[in-house]
Amino acid sequence: MTWLFLPILIAAAVAAYFGGRALARRRGKTLPGKERPHSRPGQHGAYALIWTAVPALVVLLAASVFSPDIERQMTASGAPEAVQQLEPFRREAFFADARAVGAGRPAVQIWPAPYAELLPTEGQRAARIGQMLDLGGIVGAALAALLGALFVFSQIRPGMRARNRVEGWIVGLLFACSVVAVLTTVGIIASLVYDSIRFFSSVPIAEFLFGTQWSPQTAIRADQVGSTGAFGALPLFAGTFLIMIIAMTVAAPVGLFSAIYLSEYAGPVFRATVKPVLEILAGVPTVVYGFFAALTVGPAFREFFNGIGALLVGGPLDGLGQYLMVVQNQMALVAGMVMGIMLIPFVSSLSDDIINAVPQSLRDGSYAMGATRSETVKRVLLPAALPGVAGAMLLAMSRAIGETMIVTMAAGLAARLTLNPLDTVTTVTVQIVTLLTGDQEFNSTKTLSAFGLGLTLFLVTLVLNIVAQRIVQTYRQQYD
């Protein structure tokens, strides 16, 4: 609501600009003789604009971030005894309905006796509090804008270094932009750690990391079957690892060899046609790969293995045949292979950069000794580029571990501790999606476990990335 004030604020800031400029011009004329003011009138205007807009914007932002929390606390603390005794979760539902009733809409839930009568009055009270807070935010912002403008207008005089001050503000704003990146990291860590701590307070970390039983469905009734609520994530780690290994077996050789061919053998025309194709492959959204895996690769592989199984049944390999007859669409092999295809351009472009960073003199030296191109690649280029290539592979592994859509659509949900690529496995990312997209209340251990998984995923990929970037960086410096 408070953001409706924004157009007025913009208008005020523009007015402050013109006002400041006019004022600077007028006061500049008072200078004797040929003396000129330090800054141009427009720079004074810009200074006025900044002082009008920025403090008010800060107030508005603070108001819109904090007022929902304050509003909740104020409505809750002023509520009748009966409402205060509700659990926080129910209380919020009550006030949501109260607001709806107060605004003349029907309530979502049916409320029992003491609450039903309270709905309209409480709704009106909540709405009043909301309006009051909104008004408070707007008044605060207007006051901040006014004070800022007055401050600048009192400062404007020919000797003021308006340009330097404006530039100081600009650099400050740019710095603030780059701090957003740091804040994002802080936000990620804070949100993951906060909910993970709540999760680990009910499930010990050791059980989470080394337990072999994953069935997050917590029992609603005590006697429910199959709802053990076990949170041993080892099968998920195994599944993630298995799919990552399959993906890397596809992506690493294909990506590396295409990079070698493109940088060492291909002519300019070939390069110019193949590179865009790889870029398209890199730009295809992962949900498309997931669709491809689930509806094309999965059924094709299942039919293939079922066919082989049918041939083997009854023969000396009867057991294997029986097994192959029943493999499903959602085998680890399918998700892993399609993920490998997705990673090919990633590996290829990283390796291409790295191979190109090897100095030409090393190649020339090798050719001068009579080595063929492939010998140069194998004996000179690859050893020289090895750290860089290793870094690239680590980055690709981190991508494979964090990839979500392909596995969500093409791998299964069964948490199984296996390294058999024809089995159905599940991964960390699949479980995060499954845990958080169903209908459940937010604070259950089951939902919180998604944050535990998220934290693990974040830490593992972070370590992989940092190591990989270190390696690549030192490798590059070696040849700079």
Partner 1 sequence: MTETPVTSEMRANRLRAGLKRRYAREGRFKLYGLLAIGVAVGFLLLLLGRIIEQGHTAFYTHTVTVPVYMDPARVDRAYPQGTNFELLVAEQQLARMGIADDAQGTKAAELRGLFSSELKFAAAERIQNNPNLIGQTVPIAAPLSDDADLYFKHEISLDTPADQRRLSDEQIGWLDRMQASGQVAAHFNTGLFTKGDSTEPELAGVLGAVVGSALMLLVTAFIAIPLGVGAALYLEEFAPRNRLTDLIEVNINNLAAVPSIIYGLLGLALFINWMHLPRASPLVGGLVLALMALPTIIIATRSSLKAVPPSIREAALAMGASKTQTVFQHTLPLAMPGVMTGAIISMAHALGETAPLLLIGMVSFIPGIPASLGEPTGALPSLIYIWENASERAFHERTAAAILVLLAFMIVMNAAAIFLRRRFERRW
Q: Which of 6, 11, 68, 202 binds partner 1 (CB under 8 A)?
A: 68
- If one asks whether residue 255 binds partner 1 (CB under 8 A), the answer comes out as yes
Structure tokens at 459: 């830490």
Contact between residue 243 and residue 335 where contact means Cβ atoms under 8 Å apart? yes
d(CA 335, CA 293): 7
- If one asks whether residue 442 binds partner 1 (CB under 8 A), the answer comes out as yes
Q: CB 275 → partner 1: shortest distance, Å?
A: 10
d(CA 126, CA 469): 52
State which residue, 95 or 214, has the beta carbon closest to partner 1. 95
Cα 26 vs. chain centroid, distance in angstroms?
Answer: 52
State which residue, 71 or 313, has the beta carbon closest to partner 1. 71
- Which DSSP letter does residue 263 get? I
d(CA 94, CA 287): 39
- If one asks whether residue 38 binds partner 1 (CB under 8 A), the answer comes out as no
d(CA 366, CA 204): 58
- If one asks whether residue 6 binds partner 1 (CB under 8 A), the answer comes out as no
State which residue, 324 or 333, has the beta carbon closest to partner 1. 333
| Angle ∠(165,168,172) on CA atoms, nearest 5 | 140
- Site for partner 1, residues 329 to 388, rule: CB under 8 A: 341, 344-345, 348, 372-375, 377-378
- If one asks whether residue 262 binds partner 1 (CB under 8 A), the answer comes out as yes
**Helical pair 382-402 and 234-260, crossing angle rounded to 10 deg:** 140
- If one asks whether residue 152 binds partner 1 (CB under 8 A), the answer comes out as no
- If one asks whether residue 299 binds partner 1 (CB under 8 A), the answer comes out as no
For 35-175, where are the E strands, in sequence order? none
- If one asks whether residue 195 binds partner 1 (CB under 8 A), the answer comes out as yes
Contact between residue 231 and residue 211 where contact means Cβ atoms under 8 Å apart? yes
- If one asks whether residue 319 binds partner 1 (CB under 8 A), the answer comes out as no
Q: Which of 103, 295, 311, 386 binds partner 1 (CB under 8 A)?
A: 295
Q: Which of 436, 444, 445, 467 binds partner 1 (CB under 8 A)?
A: 436
- If one asks whether residue 73 binds partner 1 (CB under 8 A), the answer comes out as no
- If one asks whether residue 180 binds partner 1 (CB under 8 A), the answer comes out as yes
Q: Which of 151, 210, 257, 479 binds partner 1 (CB under 8 A)?
A: 257
Residue among 175, 176, 342 nearest 251 (CA):
342
State which residue, 205 or 284, has the beta carbon closest to partner 1. 284
State which residue, 324 or 432, has the beta carbon closest to partner 1. 432
Residue with tokens 């410096």: 477
Integer CA distances (angstroms), 122 to 66, 86, 107, in order: 22, 14, 13
- If one asks whether residue 308 binds partner 1 (CB under 8 A), the answer comes out as no
Q: CB 405 → partner 1: shortest distance, Å?
A: 5
